[in-house]
Structures are given as structure tokens and as C-alpha cells.
């Protein structure tokens, strides 16, 4: 446990010393929120909670895919992980520390966002705030797990950037986080059902806009929890300490394994839309 | 006789069709400083990484501190210290933080303040890694390798790329470690480092050990010739005797300094001094240069160590 605690402390300090982390984790989402909130403030057709959901999902995607995914590849390329390889630890403390630190770094943004939405723009406090925070937590750890799989299978920073963008953009556009799903043709709505972010968005929207409870998000919770478990397991198994350790091209199929719960969920929703 | 710290038998390693190690054998006794020398691609790093538990072997038997590095990685890594050739840390990590975090990985660790003092990093303990000089980074790498008070140290090119002054500093530290009777496996490109620090060296070439002994013994066994340089008060004549085992003899532009290359330096030197005495010359200076480990290395591998 000593190693876990020490790595969590170190990761947190290192993250807070990086200007880019502070910018992408806090400043960028807040600017984004402020712009949207100011533009739509007073517009009865837009609920402030909707903007909070959008910015939260944007933050989760950034934190998970960029924060966990690309950073690990950069550390491996810079020969930083190699130093850990000669010590008596496995990859587990590094992966767990990265996941927990991602969550710790994200919480202040969520608190600030909700506070700003409430005090500045008059958003009523959701009745199930604790449950919403739990759901966001699950989203963060699931997307960190997806990010860590990307780190495990990408052979270079450049490759990881491409992979992150290939996953990030469809999720941002098709999940309902930034554009209303209803405006998409039906087939695109079906495609969106297969994306992890869609379930995070629909779950959060349900809890924020329709006062749904956590127990009503069982499918999304199961899919996110399973993604976390499979993601951590696979990234542990495929963890690479050195840039010279190349991975088989077939290992990239593990990304599919992590997304499998969402494929199942998407198929379920596509086949039985009313349930 | 105590159990060897490292025992290697018929070790092989292949990367596809390429044989990096072709069956090497050696033992390192506790308290011994053992140098592994070889040109680039000889198999040094592969050997060391197999012993450290970082790479699987293709064949042979290996025991390090009684552990099989392939099957008991964690137990082994808890007992050894490793100073890697190519490593790095986050630019924004402080020296003290690095020691604190890495010490948490081991079951036992030494007092980090004492280690900072010993490695002369005390005044840099709050500095970011990115602000350290090359020598300071290398001292930190050594400190990390010593955190668990290891019974066995692996030093892979510990002074590579450092300037002469910093290299001398690191040599001082390594001599201290040697004085503590720690077992050390050192790989190096610097022949003087091996001569100065190692009790025994093995010369590795194309995946095989082609010589292994103390540096002095290797020099003695060498067929490489010694050089005798004598300076007298008068010019040497062109017609000089054919001394036995002399490969070559030349006179410099002043005519008063004679350089003789001989395979039996002692016998040649006696003959040379007698001849100078017979000639009635006054002997002003004599130098005898025996083959260095570098000469032995070139003789055995046909390459310079830093090629």
C-alpha cells in the first residue's frame, strides 16, 4: 500500500505542476461553460443543467482519453517508466494511481461547475447530487481505463494522438453531449448507442434534467463498471514499460474488448428501443 | 566457498534468427566488482537485463542472489540496485520526492537524508529533476540504486556521456561502494574505469565471452608488445643490434630518443641498457609502457571499446 499512496501523492503533485493539466482540466472547460452559459442565459429553451452536463462530459473525455492515455505514452517514450521497471512493483500501482489522481483532479471542476451554475446562473441544486457525483466518478474511472488501454496499444505519442481523436470526436459529436441526438437521422442515433459517452450523457441528463435516480441508470452503470474492470485488467496485461517493447497489431483488438459492454448495450437499445 | 552472487551457465538469447548470446558462463563472488566489456552489440546489455529480470532468456541457467530472475522477478528486484544506462524522470519531480517514492517500493530502505548527503545532493534535494546537471542526474540515479541497501548492484555504463571531471566524481563514489564490499556488475565503455574499479573483467564479443580474468592478468597474458623509450646524451647510431623479440625500433628527429617495441620487454631492456653502457652513452631517461587493457581488448576483438 505504501507504493500506491506514494504514487498517488507524486502523480497529483506532478499534475498540478503542469500548466497544460491545469489548462485542459480546469480553465478550458470553465471558459467553455462560461461562454455557453452567458450566451444561453435567459433563453427559456435551454436549461443550465444541460450545459453543465455538456461541459462535464467534455471534461470526462479530456481527463480520461488525453490525461490517462497520452500521458502514459509520453512517459514511456521519455524512458520514465523504464526506471520503475527495475523496482519490485508491478504495473498495478501505476495504473491505480493514475485512475485515482484523474478522479481527484476532476472533482474540483465538477464542484466549481455546479456552484457556478447554481449561484451565477440560478440552476436549482439537483435533488440527487450525491448520486450524480457517484455517476460522474464511475464515468471518470471508466474513461481513464479506456485511456490506459490506448496507452498500452499505441506505439508512439503520434499514434496515441490519432487514436484519441478517432475515439474522442465521435463521442463528443454523437453522444448527445454537444448536439441534440434528436437532430440526427435514425441510423446515426443507433450508431451513437454504441458509444460509451452516450450512456454517460443520457444517464447524467436523466439525473440532472428529469430528476431520475441512480437506480434508473442500471444499464449505464453496469456498462461503465464493466469497462472499468476490463479496461484496468487489459491495460495491466498489456502494460509496456519501454518504447522498445513493441506490441502485436492484434493486441489493438483489446480496445474492442473494453468497448464490448457498450456494443452489447447499444445492440440491446437498438433492438428494443422502448425498454 | 560462499555461494556466488551471480551464477550463469550456458546462457543463450535469440531475437528471431539473431543470436545475441551464444552460451556464456561466469560466476561473480560476493563482494566482487565484475566488469563486462565489449563493443556495441556484443551482448552486454542483453546479459545484464536478463540478470536483472527485465528480459527472458532463451536457454541456460541463471541464479542471481539465489533467485531465478525470470521466475522470481519481484523478490530479486527487492534485493538488487540498478543504475540504468538510459533512463529519465519527470522534469518536475524534486530530488527528495523521487527518493521518497522509489523507497516506498522496497521492503527495506535506507535513510534518504543520509543518502542525499553521501551522494552530495543535499543542497539539491528540493530541486526539480529538469534543473539538474548531467552529473547530478547520474548521482541521483546512483542514489535510487542504493535506496534499498542492495546486496548486488548493476551499473550499466554509469559514466557514459559525462565529462571527465564528473566521471572522476562518480569513480570516487564507485570506489567507496567497492570499499564497502558490495557485489557490483559494471558494464562500461571506458577501459580505464574497468582497470581502476574491477576485480575481474569478462570481454564479450558477438555473444561469447572471449576472455575473463583480472585486468592485470589479462594484460600479462596479452601477446601485445611493450614499448621501451630511452633517451641518452648522444645520438643513437643507425646500425643497432637485432635484440631478441623486438618488433620494431625507431629514433626520433633529435636522434637521442630510441623507441623499442618488444614482446619480452624485461629481456630487451637488459640487453638495451648493456648496449648503451658499451657505447659509452649516458642514460638520461627510461620509460616502459606495458600493454593496457585497451590493447588486450583490441587484440582480442579487433575493435576499440568505444567503436
Question: Confidence band (pLDDT; 50, 70, 90) for B222?
Answer: low
Q: How many whole angstroms separate alpha carbon B85 and alpha carbon B44?
A: 12
Contact check, Cβ <8 Å, B87/A14: no
Contact check, Cβ <8 Å, A87/B84: no
What pLDDT, on the 0 to 100 scale, is given for residue A211? 86
What pLDDT, on the 0 to 100 scale, is given for residue B304? 64
Query: What are φ and ψ of residue A68, in 5° steps?
Result: -85, -40
Percent residues over pLDDT 70 in chain B = 96
Query: Which cell numbers in the block locate residue B136?
Result: 547530478
Alpha helices, DSSP H, located in A27-156:
28-40, 48-61, 71-77, 80-85, 92-119, 129-153
- Average pLDDT per consecutive 10 residues, chain A (275 residues; last block may be shorter): 93 90 87 88 78 91 83 86 92 93 93 92 88 94 89 84 86 84 83 83 89 87 86 87 77 69 70 63
Q: Which residues contact B133 (CB under 8 A, 6 or more apart)?
A: B166
What pLDDT, on the 0 to 100 scale, is given for residue B215? 84
Q: Is A156 on the interface with B (CB under 8 A)?
A: no
Q: Is B152 on the interface with A (CB under 8 A)?
A: no
Tens of pLDDT, residues B66-116 = 999 999 999 999 999 999 876 789 999 999 999 999 999 999 889 999 999
| CA A78 vs CA A69, A83, A187, B22, B88: distances in Å | 15, 11, 43, 32, 7
Q: How many whole angstroms separate alpha carbon A37 and alpha carbon A34?
A: 5
- Cβ pairs A/B, distance under 8 A: 59
Lowest mean pLDDT among A123-137, B129-143, B292-306: B292-306
B272 pLDDT above the threshold of 60 = yes
Radius of gyration (Cα) for chain B, nearest Å? Answer: 24
Q: Is B54 on the interface with A (CB under 8 A)?
A: yes
What pLDDT, on the 0 to 100 scale, is given for residue B58? 94
Residues B15-21, mean pLDDT to the nearest whole number:
89
From A147's Cα to the closest Cα of chain B, the distance in A is 20
In terms of Cα–Cα distance, which of A145, A175, A151 is closest to A163? A151
B196 pLDDT above the threshold of 80 = yes
Contact check, Cβ <8 Å, B87/A79: yes
Contact check, Cβ <8 Å, A18/B102: no
Q: Find chain B residues with C-beta within 8 A of A6's C-beta.
A: 100-101, 104
B152 pLDDT above the threshold of 90 = yes
Q: Is A267 on the interface with B (CB under 8 A)?
A: no
Give bridge partners of residue B62 from the DSSP assignment: B8
Nearest CB among A5, A17, A88 relative to B92 is that of A17
Q: Is B132 on the interface with A (CB under 8 A)?
A: no
Q: Is A16 on the interface with B (CB under 8 A)?
A: no
Residues B57-68, mean pLDDT to the nearest whole number:
94
What pLDDT, on the 0 to 100 scale, is given for residue B78? 95
What pLDDT, on the 0 to 100 scale, is given for residue B52? 93
In terms of Cα–Cα distance, which of A110, A99, A130 is closest to A214? A130
In terms of Cα–Cα distance, which of A110, A138, A18, A27 is closest to A67? A18
Q: Find chain B residues with C-beta within 8 A of A10's C-beta.
A: 93, 97, 101
Nearest CB among A2, A6, A14 relative to B90 is that of A14
Nearest CB among B73, B87, B102 relative to A82 is that of B87
Q: How many whole angstroms separate alpha carbon A115 and alpha carbon A110?
A: 8
C-alpha triplet A211, A217, A219: angle, nearest 5°: 160
B13 pLDDT above the threshold of 80 = yes
Can you tell me the ipTM of this complex? 0.83
From A77's Cα to the closest Cα of chain B, the distance in A is 10
Contact check, Cβ <8 Å, A88/B106: yes
Q: Is A87 on the interface with B (CB under 8 A)?
A: yes
Spatial contact of B39 and B305, defined as CB atoms under 8 Å apart: yes
Percent residues over pLDDT 90 in chain B = 44
Spatial contact of B222 and B299, defined as CB atoms under 8 Å apart: yes
Half-sphere exposure of residue A86, counting CA atoms within 13 Å on the CB side?
A: 29
Question: Closest residue of B to A71, CA-based?
Answer: B90
Q: Is A14 on the interface with B (CB under 8 A)?
A: yes
From A55's Cα to the closest Cα of chain B, the distance in A is 29
Q: How many whole angstroms separate alpha carbon B141 and alpha carbon B10?
A: 31
Q: Of residues B167 and B230, which shows the higher confidence score?
A: B230
Q: Find chain B residues with C-beta within 8 A of A18's C-beta.
A: 92
What pLDDT, on the 0 to 100 scale, is given for residue B232? 92
Amino acid at each position: 500500500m505504501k507504493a500506491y499512496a506514494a504514487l498517488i501523492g507524486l502523480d497529483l503533485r506532478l499534475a498540478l505542476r503542469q500548466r497544460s493539466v491545469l489548462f485542459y482540466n480546469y480553465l478550458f472547460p470553465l471558459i467553455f461553460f462560461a461562454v455557453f452559459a452567458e450566451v444561453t442565459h435567459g433563453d427559456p429553451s435551454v436549461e443550465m443543467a444541460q450545459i453543465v452536463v455538456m461541459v462535464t462530459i467534455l471534461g470526462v473525455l479530456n481527463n480520461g482519453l488525453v490525461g490517462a492515455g497520452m500521458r502514459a505514452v509520453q512517459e514511456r517514450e521519455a524512458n520514465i517508466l523504464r526506471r520503475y521497471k527495475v523496482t519490485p512493483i508491478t504495473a498495478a500501482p501505476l495504473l491505480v494511481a493514475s485512475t485515482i489522481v484523474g478522479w481527484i483532479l476532476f472533482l474540483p471542476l465538477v464542484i466549481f461547475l455546479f456552484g457556478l451554475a447554481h449561484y451565477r446562473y440560478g440552476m436549482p441544486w439537483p435533488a440527487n447530487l450525491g448520486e450524480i457525483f457517484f455517476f460522474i466518478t464511475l464515468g471518470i474511472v471508466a474513461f481513464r481505463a479506456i485511456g490506459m488501454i490506448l496507452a498500452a496499444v499505441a506505439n508512439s505519442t503520434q499514434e496515441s494522438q490519432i487514436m484519441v481523436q478517432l475515439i474522442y470526436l465521435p463521442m463528443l459529436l454523437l453522444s448527445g453531449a454537444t448536439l441534440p441526438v434528436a437532430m440526427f437521422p435514425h441510423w446515426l442515433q443507433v450508431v451513437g448507442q454504441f458509444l460509451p459517452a452516450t450512456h454517460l450523457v443520457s444517464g447524467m441528463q436523466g439525473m440532472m434534467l428529469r430528476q431520475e435516480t441512480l437506480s434508473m441508470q442500471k444499464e449505464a452503470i453496469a456498462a461503465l463498471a464493466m469497462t472499468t474492470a476490463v479496461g484496468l485488467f487489459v491495460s495491466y496485461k498489456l502494460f509496456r514499460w519501454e518504447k522498445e517493447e513493441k506490441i502485436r497489431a492484434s493486441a489493438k483488438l483489446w480496445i474492442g474488448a473494453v468497448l464490448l459492454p457498450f456494443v452489447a448495450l447499444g445492440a440491446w437499445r437498438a433492438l428494443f428501443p422502448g425498454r | 566457498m560462499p555461494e556466488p552472487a551471480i551464477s550463469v551457465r550456458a546462457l543463450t538469447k535469440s531475437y528471431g534468427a539473431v543470436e545475441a548470446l551464444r552460451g556464456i558462463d561466469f560466476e561473480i563472488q560476493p563482494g566482487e566488482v565484475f566488469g563486462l566489456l565489449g563493443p556495441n552489440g556484443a551482448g552486454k546489455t542483453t546479459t545484464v537485463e536478463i540478470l536483472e529480470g527485465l528480459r527472458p532468456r532463451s536457454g541456460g541457467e541463471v541464479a542471481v542472489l539465489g533467485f531465478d530472475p525470470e521466475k522470481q522477478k519481484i523478490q530479486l528486484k527487492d534485493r538488487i540496485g540498478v543504475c540504468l544506462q538510459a533512463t529519465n524522470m519527470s522534469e518536475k519531480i524534486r530530488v527528495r520526492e523521487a527518493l521518497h517514492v522509489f523507497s516506498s517500493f522496497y521492503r527495506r530502505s535506507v535513510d534518504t537524508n543520509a543518502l542525499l548527503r553521501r551522494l552530495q545532493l543535499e543542497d539539491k534535494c528540493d530541486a526539480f529533476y529538469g534543473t539538474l546537471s548531467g552529473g547530478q542526474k547520474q548521482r541521483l540515479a546512483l542514489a535510487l540504486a542504493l535506496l534499498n541497501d542492495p546486496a548486488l548492484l548493476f551499473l550499466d555504463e554509469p559514466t557514459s556521456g559525462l565529462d571527465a571531471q564528473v566521471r572522476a566524481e562518480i569513480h570516487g563514489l564507485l570506489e567507496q561502494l567497492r570499499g564497502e564490499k558490495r557485489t557490483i556488475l559494471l558494464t562500461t565503455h571506458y577501459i580505464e574505469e574497468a582497470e581502476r574499479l574491477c576485480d575481474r573483467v569478462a570481454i564479450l564479443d558477438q555473444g561469447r565471452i572471449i576472455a575473463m580474468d583480472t585486468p592485470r592478468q589479462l594484460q600479462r597474458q596479452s601477446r601485445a608488445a611493450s614499448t621501451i623509450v630511452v633517451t641518452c646524451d648522444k645520438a643513437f647510431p643507425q646500425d643497432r643490434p637485432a635484440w631478441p623479440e623486438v618488433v620494431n625500433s625507431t629514433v626520433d628527429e633529435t636522434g637521442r630518443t630510441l623507441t623499442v617495441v618488444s614482446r619480452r620487454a624485461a629481456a630487451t631492456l637488459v640487453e638495451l641498457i648493456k648496449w648503451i653502457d658499451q657505447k659509452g652513452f649516458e642514460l638520461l631517461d627510461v620509460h616502459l609502457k606495458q600493454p593496457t587493457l585497451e590493447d588486450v581488448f583490441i587484440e582480442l576483438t579487433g575493435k576499440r571499446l568505444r567503436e
